[in-house]
Amino acid sequence: MPGYTLHDGVTLKNKLGISTHENLEAAETDYVRNRLWDFAAGQGPKGKFDARHLKAIHRHLFQDVYEWAGNTRDERVRLSDGTIATEPVLRKIDGKPFIDGPLIAEGLDRIGRELAGVDCLRGLMREEFANRAADVMVELNAVHPFREGNGRTQRVFMETLAQEAGHQLDFSVVSRERMIQASIAGNEHCDPMMMRRLFTEISDPERVAALDKAIRALEQHRFPWNDRYIATAEPGHKVEVRLAGVAGEQFMARTQTAILIGQSRDLPEPRPAKGQEFMLAPSGWGQHKVDWERHLADDDSGVC
């Protein structure tokens, strides 16, 4: 919509006076990162996990960048240049449209009522919480209420929900590619399983630690992990992989589409050589320590 963007039709009008999409994206990231620290310090807006709460989170995160922060895309916001910002119809390129503007308020209210009806998922064991929280994430993503900043707002909303329910979600170990795939599966194919698996992992401190160590090592080698589907091996899910490397009690392996982090005790005997294909049958996760940084420093081939 002309009201949201500058004359190039791409760059969003902003409070910073930035006129190119690339520069705005970089500045927005910096400003929002600073606001995220408020939530980490327990200083972000509180609420009842309803539409008002979600909008307050968006307003807090993006208040430094956009006049319309905290307003959903169906609302008409008069900007300082006199134009009206509104975009009731929104879709990803080559993707299924998100719900139409007139249905946004109804969709958010429904999610809020559902959460209130189950005491905001309090009192659940971790895996049940993870599955039900993942379904909430899929619903929120289908609504996609804001013109910009939906993902970051949803993550803060879900992290806060988890804390209130006595759990923890760590999105820092979720690659951009993995979140895209899980969101597409949920929104376009009505399949929440990929998001449920993601939430099960990032609510498990042991699997989070395994992913974190591997990601840090990949970053040391400037490997673009954010553009790959990277996950821990799923217990009970057999998959054919190619071994990338072993570091103590953990290993890295590749499928045609993903990087998997597994436990060395699950490697078959005799142990496969680097680059060899084998059938992985993952067991449950346990407490392990591993130094991927040292391992990849010794073996500079990485997983490329």
- Which amino acid, 300? D
Task: Give, for all 304 residues of the chain, the pLDDT tens digit.
Answer: 458 999 999 999 999 999 999 999 999 999 999 999 999 888 899 999 999 999 999 999 999 999 999 999 999 999 999 999 999 998 776 677 889 999 999 999 999 999 999 999 999 999 999 999 999 999 999 999 999 999 999 999 999 999 999 999 999 999 999 999 999 999 889 999 999 999 999 999 999 999 999 999 999 999 999 999 999 999 999 999 999 999 888 999 999 999 999 999 999 999 999 999 999 999 998 754 445 445 555 554 444 3
Q: What is the pLDDT of residue 90?
A: 87
Strands 258-263 and 229-232: parallel
Strand partners for 229: 258
Q: What is the pLDDT of residue 289?
A: 47
- Asked if omega into 270 is within 30° of 0 (cis), the reply is yes
Q: What is the pTM of this model?
A: 0.90
Q: Tell me if residue 131 falls in helix, strand or coil.
A: helix
Closest by CA position to 173, among listed 154, 199, 136, 151: 199
- Biggest CA–CA distance in the chain, Å, is 71
Tokens for 214, please give them: 């591997």
CA distance 280 to 298: 25
Closest by CA position to 227, among listed 192, 179, 194: 179
Where do the domains of the chain lie, and which CATH numbers do they carry?
A: 21-202 (1.10.3290.10), 214-298 (2.40.50.140)
Q: What is the pLDDT of residue 296?
A: 52
Q: What is the pLDDT of residue 131?
A: 98
